[in-house]
Structure 1
Amino acid sequence: MKYYRPRLQFGGWLLAILTAITATPAIAETANFGTFTLSANFQPAQGTVQGFTGGSYSLSATSNRDRDHKACIGFADPTPDHIMVLEKDFSQLTVQIDSSNNDTTLFIQGPDQTTIRCGDDTGKSKDASVGDRNWKKGIYRIWVGTFNPGVKRDYTLTVEQQ
């Protein structure tokens, strides 16, 4: 009986393909309005960025509750609006939206992809904010949404260190 080797050749090709895929560097993250980096004792201007809302993607489709069991609501673009890079751990940060009191929401995905922080109205203001503890070093994806889909609102996002 003759021994047939195509499986070994296929296995070799498969191994070569898998090796090439795992050796390929990850594609750089992109955001609608860019990336900003914060290090120890950052200046207020370094934590201030601008953008506008306007998507129909339901943020609750990614996660309907955050790590503190707050509801994640709103509509945004599927691509994050901002990428925030923390160069160190921060014990306390506040991320706040100023859209002239329009009804905005916040969805922040942590570096581990599973730590979610969500925010809606801030006090009597309809502008969203998230004030939280234990921000670990890494890359955060931030979506600024609106209560209704497809609504375009200009905003300023500010990150403050406490």
Structure 2
Amino acid sequence: MATTDKYRRHGSMALATGLLLGIVGTLPVLAQANFETFNLSEASPTSRVSGFTTGIVALSNIAGRDGRGTICAGFADTTPDHIMVLEQDFDSLILQVDSGGNDTSLLIQGPNDSTVRCGQDTNRRNPDARVEDQGWQTGTYRIWVGSHHQGQRYNYSLSVSP
């Protein structure tokens, strides 16, 4: 009888542990970033944040292609560099990297995992990345600023405006 009680206790503890892990697994995950998190709203529709590129992971491994079919090129860290929280929908936004003309790239994922925007060179004379797009929904966006050369470190600022 003592052996049966022992197994019941272990079974009860295993069940309780499983239930606890299941509950914790359903809680929302707080977004983390290497650098700054910022919010945009009607009262504050612009932002400028900074950081540096460091990655060795291909952006195409994080998100293969964006909604237009563009391959997400470049290298970044597995953790996003910035978190952007849109407190309302925006008809259009421009995200522009300024690294002094280095060859940078952008990957923006959100407000869900299936919505991806990638950006590369602004133009032939300025290889800094830029994303200009419409239809930005309220929510949380993860932003990676990468370089086209694996492990290359560039200081940058990222500006966001409507």
Are 2:61 and 1:53 equivalent residues in the alignment?
no
- Residue equivalent to 1:133: 134
Q: Please, what is the CA RMSD of the aligned residues?
A: 2.1
How many residue pairs are counted as aligned between the two chains?
A: 155
SS in structure 2 at match of 1:31? coil
Structure 2 stretches lacking a partner, 5+ long = none
Write the distance in 2 (CA, Å) between the matches of 1:13 and 1:117.
Answer: 46
Map residues 53-72 of structure 1 onto 2, 5 A cutoff.
Answer: 53-72=53-72
Residue correspondence of structure 1 range 6-155 to structure 2 within 5 A: 10=11, 13=13, 15-24=15-24, 25-42=27-44, 44=46, 47-124=47-124, 125-155=126-156
Deviation (angstroms), 1:103 = 0.1
Aligned mates of 1:77, 1:59 — CA distance in 2: 9
Letter in 1 for 2:155: D
Q: Structure 2-normalised TM-score?
A: 0.86
1:149/1:87 CA distance change after superposition, 3 Å: same
Length-normalised TM-score, structure 1:
0.86
Q: Which amino acid aligns with 1:35?
A: T
Distance in structure 2 (CA, Å) of the matches to 1:23 and 1:15: 12
Q: 1:17: Cα distance to partner?
A: 3.1
* Preserved CA contact (<8 Å) 2:62 2:78: no
Structure 1 residue 32: Cα displacement:
0.6
Task: Tell me the CA shift for residue 14 of structure 1.
Answer: 5.4
Structure 1, unmatched stretches of 5+, are: none
Q: CA deviation at 1:15?
A: 4.8
Q: Secondary structure at the match of 2:17?
A: helix
Q: Give the letter for the 1:132 counterpart.
A: D
CA distance in structure 2 between the aligned counterparts of 1:43 and 1:131, rounded to whole angstroms: 15
**Deviation, structure 1 residue 16:** 2.9
Distance 2:32 2:39 in 1: 14
Q: 1:23-69, CA deviations, whole angstroms, 9 ceiling, x for partnerless residues?
A: 3344422111021111114254xx10000001101110122210111
Q: Distance in 2 between matches of 1:137 and 1:13?
A: 42
